[in-house]
């Protein structure tokens, strides 16, 4: 790699210790049996008042349920190559079955390397549908009788008590990610966590520390980096294919781009225009609505400040939009929608995926027309509302450049430029010799499949760090959190990515942490 794209060093990623109890394990450290399943009653009283409940208390709840003996699906019944016998499959529980969780349930139920033992969701309809899908998939694979081995859970902590569970996938709202991941690590489970992995800078660092302390394998759900064509582009940039990188561009849209007038009537601010233009999640008090039957809303809110139920938190306003992400107590706006993917890909390509920027320039200071982050190697990351600004404001690419998609960025270097957004359009770049070098002279638009889950499962066996381990996930989320803090304060900031604190700015440093609702705690 050229010196001008030198990697910013971060604290050493320590090798993981993996000290498991010897009984019930094979030589890979995986549980070799999962014959007994505790079926928790949906009506159990494990609500927010029991965040520190002891194992004995939880087992007392478990005693209220029925015991079932799941018939594990044989490898031959699955009829796929690369399968493992039932005793060697990685047993997985899914926490959260909303927009993203439904995809994880389907993905794991059809993976011959894994066995789904439970689906947890505070919404009865979602968890029951998830379990039904898993059980039907396994029953069909066995081609005989019924399968009832996948169990529904209301409270994720009950699922974590299972001794036969190897790992969990967390796909809940943002305000739950870090706490549930830390609880899972403490319970000895490996973790796949949706992005962003935390709601605040301090929470993200605590998550990293917990994963390392308990020797867990952690994969961030930024699967975009695992698409072969994206990895090829990132490696090309990282190895100096564009020469010294001058600037990078990515999308960061205001709230109105996704939510329009839906929260207009509930705004604290006098003018909806201000709120709609906000590049940060906002604080609004929505009026209480009747809680739908079968939804444990208290547990949905969990560690966040209390807000009564409202449809805007729970029902998607549009396909692909996570409904709660506009609210600062539950989500991270653009970082929830797509920016975590972009941040991960961009920092990976720049070789700074375990560090971060040193300055965040707010457009109010007049240096750049849009919010811009500067890294210690001089690279500028410009956040734009739409790609027209890349052409018109910055004049960084030709007027005819094909710029579309949200999950990546546009890299501009000494030799030329290239895009890394394949969701919605082709890969484009120039001059033509760069596209030929990359084998992309056809402007490929089909990104292909990714192996992100497979990478996680393999690393559970090998105990090696996955491609988007906890430090990488934390730094991708942190980039979005830095942008949000600068947007909220309306001014530029200096950031120390090693100490993870703002330089000489007490007001900004106070925003690094969020307070959990009692009695929830880390």
Give the pLDDT of residue 2: 34
333: alpha, beta or left? (left if phi > 0; alpha if psi -120 to 50): left
Rg over alpha carbons for the chain, rounded to the nearest Å, is 23
In a domain? residue 389: no
Residue 140 domain flag: yes
Which of 221, 227, 196, 253 minimizes the C-alpha distance to 420?
A: 227
The enclosing domain of 153 has a CATH number of 3.40.50.720
* Per-residue pLDDT at 445: 67
> Would you state the pLDDT for residue 314?
86
Q: Dihedral sign for Cα 109, 112, 117, 121, please.
A: negative
Q: Is residue 410 part of a domain?
A: no
Residues 331, 332, 336, 337: is their CA dihedral positive or negative? positive
User: Does residue 214 lie in a domain region?
Assistant: yes
Q: Is residue 181 part of a domain?
A: yes
382 located within any domain: no
Mean pLDDT, 10 residues at a time, over the chain (522 residues)? Answer: 32 30 37 31 34 40 35 42 67 95 96 97 97 96 88 98 98 97 98 98 99 99 93 96 97 78 61 69 88 97 97 74 86 87 96 98 96 97 95 96 89 97 81 93 74 97 98 98 95 98 98 96 88
Number of domains in the chain: 1
Neighbours of 110 (CB within 10 A): 16
Range of the domain at 102: 22-46+59-224+461-469
Within a domain: residue 107?
Answer: yes
In three-state form (DSSP H/G/I as H, E/B as E, the rest C), the secondary structure along 117-130 is EEEECCEHHHHHHH
Question: What does the alpha-carbon distance between residue 259 and residue 274 come to, in Å, rounded to a whole number?
Answer: 14
Q: Is residue 86 part of a domain?
A: yes
Q: What is the 3-state secondary structure (H, E, C) of 465-497?
A: CCCCCHHHHHHHHHHHHHHHHHHHHCCCEEEEC
Q: What was the pLDDT predicted at 266?
A: 65
Tokens of residue 312, six digits: 């805007």
Sorted by sequence, the CB contacts under 8 Å of residue 433 that are 6+ apart come out as none
Euclidean distance between CA atoms 502 and 251, whole angstroms: 24
């Amino acid at each position: 790699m050229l010196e001008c794209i030198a990697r910013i060093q971060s604290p050493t990623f320590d090798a993981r210790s993996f000290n498991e109890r010897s009984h019930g394990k094979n030589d890979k450290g995986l549980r070799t049996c999962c014959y007994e399943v505790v079926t928790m009653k949906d009506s159990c009283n494990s609500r927010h008042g029991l965040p520190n409940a002891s194992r004995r208390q939880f087992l007392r709840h478990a005693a209220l349920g029925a015991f079932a003996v799941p018939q594990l699906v044989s490898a031959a019944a699955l009829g796929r190559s690369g399968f493992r016998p039932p005793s060697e499959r990685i047993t997985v529980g899914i926490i959260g079955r909303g927009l993203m969780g439904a995809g994880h349930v389907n993905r794991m139920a059809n993976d011959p390397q894994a066995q789904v033992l439970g689906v947890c969701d505070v919404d009865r309809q979602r968890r029951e549908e998830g379990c039904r899908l898993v059980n039907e998939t396994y029953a069909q694979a066995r081609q005989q009788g019924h399968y009832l081995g996948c169990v529904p859970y209301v409270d994720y902590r009950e699922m974590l008590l299972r001794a036969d569970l190897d790992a969990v996938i967390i796909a809940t709202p943002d305000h739950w990610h870090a706490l549930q991941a830390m609880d899972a690590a403490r319970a000895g489970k490996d973790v796949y966590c949706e992005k962003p992995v935390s709601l605040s800078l301090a929470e993200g660092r605590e998550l990293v520390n917990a994963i390392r302390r308990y020797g867990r394998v952690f994969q961030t759900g930024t699967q975009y980096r695992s698409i072969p064509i994206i990895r090829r582009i990132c490696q090309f940039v990282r190895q100096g294919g564009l020469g010294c990188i001058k600037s990078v561009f990515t999308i960061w849209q205001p709230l109105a781009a996704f939510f329009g007038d839906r929260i207009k009537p509930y705004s604290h601010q006098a003018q909806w225009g201000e709120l709609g233009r906000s590049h940060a999640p906002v604080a609004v008090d929505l009026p209480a609505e009747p809680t739908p039957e079968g939804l444990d809303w208290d547990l949905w809110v969990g560690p966040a400040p209390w807000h009564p139920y409202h449809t805007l938190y729970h029902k998607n306003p549009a396909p692909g939009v996570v409904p709660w992400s506009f609210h600062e107590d539950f989500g991270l706006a653009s970082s929830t929608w797509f920016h975590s993917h972009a941040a991960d890909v961009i920092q990976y390509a720049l070789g700074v995926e375990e560090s971060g920027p040193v300055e965040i320039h707010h457009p109010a200071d007049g240096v750049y027309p849009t919010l811009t982050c500067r890294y210690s190697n001089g690279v500028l990351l410009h956040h734009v509302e739409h790609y027209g600004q890349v052409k018109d404001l910055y004049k960084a690419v030709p007027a005819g450049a094909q710029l579309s998609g949200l999950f990546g960025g546009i890299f501009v270097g000494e030799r030329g430029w290239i895009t890394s957004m394949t969701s919605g359009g082709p890969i484009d770049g120039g001059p033509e010799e760069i596209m030929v070098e990359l084998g992309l002279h056809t402007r490929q638009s089909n990104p292909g499949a990714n192996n992100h889950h497979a990478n996680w499962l393999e690393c559970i066996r090998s105990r090696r760090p996955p491609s988007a381990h906890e430090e990488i996930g934390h730094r991708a989320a942190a980039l979005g959190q830095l942008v949000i803090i600068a947007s909220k304060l309306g001014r530029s900031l200096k950031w120390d990515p090693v100490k993870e604190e703002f330089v000489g700015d007490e007001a900004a440093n106070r925003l690094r942490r969020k307070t959990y609702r009692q009695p929830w705690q880390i």
